[in-house]
Amino acid sequence: MKLTFATGELSVVSPNPDIPMANGMRKSADGKKIIVLSQGFNRTGAGVFELDPETLESTPIVNTYYGRNFNSLNDIETTEDGKVLFFTDPPYGFEQGFRVGQPELGSNVYRYDTTTKTVTILSTGFQRPNGITLFDDRASGLGCTLYVSDSGFEGTAGVQLPRGFLGFGDSAVYSIVEPGGSGCFEPAYPAEPLGVTPIIPVTAGIQDGMQVHKATKLLLFCSGEGLWIMDILSATQIGLVNQPCTQVIFSQEVGVQKVYILSERQLFTIDLNFDPFLRGTEAMGGNNGKGYGVGQDPKACSELKDKKARKECMKNPVVTLKEMDTNDDPWKMRKNSANAQAGGIIIWYVGSLLLAGVLAVVQ
């Protein structure tokens, strides 16, 4: 599907050749193409494709791991120069019935080098790897860190059961830290899968899509509770947008900008202030009049009579979203709500069995 903000027009996008059960996406390094993941269909394996948004021509990038078919590729991240791709591969296609047979590979996280055409397993330590994002801090000498959400389900006789993680729940966000070097997980030989470190448990639903804002060093990730905002340097969750979601997308610009939030069949937008010179709740706007951030609605907090209650209010961040779609027809966007940048486009793909797609902003 494609939504053009300038006109409010919603249309179906049909790539040629088709990209079966398209899911996660990212822009290419030059911004001219879209890297799209296919979950596969029936006996056709999953794969990574490059899509030209003008001609709608699709070109396969990689579709096997040394001859073995991928399962159901879910989410993708790239380095800033686009030379390295990272993607997750849970077996949901087999569990949800649109893939037939048995998985040929485990629930892995992969790295693909577009220069050498080499695909490497980065980690085998997940149950159901889902969302993925990269914090590339090589400029500071700290290497690369991948954040991966594990939806943590295991299928038993066609029923998905919560795995549980140390009593925290059925899902968690993990980090994979580069052991050293400047190639952003450039593999050594023989390559060994890296270990994973749990950093954030979930208390409602599952944790899903995520994205890092590099300048402010913030990690925004979706869960059944809402859109969480975590300060990477202190590993502290500093805010919550009180809207359960499956994916979040925004540009890497600093200052006030629109953040797009996908929640099943609804699309939301909110203005957040990404300021690299502020920390904590101030980093996302607070009550400075430049757009709501992770701080509680300042007006609501200020109306509380008790001083302690007002203070606690600001520590319990909730922001009000502007809904961009209608309740009676969730796929029909209001033309007058298309208030993003002129000419901006949001594209997402929806599989027949997967109502929640993954957003990709194309400027």
Would you state the pLDDT for residue 264?
Answer: 77
Q: Is 317 in contact with 323 (CB distance < 8 Å)?
A: no
Superfamily of domain 2-362: TolB, C-terminal domain (2.120.10.30)
Q: Which amino acid is at 302?
A: S
Structure pTM?
A: 0.76
Tell me, rounded to whole angstroms, the distance of Cα 15 from its chain centroid: 22
Q: Report d(CA 337, CA 235) in Å as an integer.
A: 35
| Tokens at 90, concatenated | 């849970």
Residue type present at position 141: G
Contacts (Cβ under 8 Å, ≥6 apart) of 188: none
Provide the pLDDT for residue 306. 67
pLDDT along the chain (363 residues), means of 10: 80 91 91 94 95 95 96 95 94 92 95 94 89 91 90 56 46 81 76 79 79 93 88 84 90 88 85 71 40 41 62 49 35 26 26 28 33
Predicted pLDDT at 311? 62
Q: State how far the Cα of 272 lies from the Cα of 276, in Å rounded to an integer.
A: 13
Structure token pair of residue 133: 């994002």
Phi, psi values for residue 336, rounded to 5°: -80, -5
Cα(257)–Cα(211) distance, rounded to whole angstroms?
Answer: 15
Residues 184 and 218: their CA atoms lie apart, in Å, by 19
Local structure of 281: helix, strand or coil: helix
Cα–Cα dist 289/269, whole Å: 17
- Give the total residue count for the chain: 363
The confidence score (pLDDT) of residue 173 equals: 87
Residue with tokens 């790239």: 78
Whether the ω angle into residue 17 lies within 30 degrees of 0, i.e. cis, is yes
CB atoms within 10 A of CB 362: 16
C-alpha distances (whole Å) from 228 to each of 221, 281, 301, 315, 360 are 5, 12, 20, 13, 19
The alpha carbon dihedral of 84, 183, 177, 123 has a sign of positive
How many of the other CB atoms lie within 10 Å of CB of 218? 23
Domain ranges of the chain: 2-362
Residue 86's pLDDT is 97
Strands 76-78 and 68-69: unpaired
Cβ neighbours of residue 157 under 8 Å, at least 6 residues apart? none
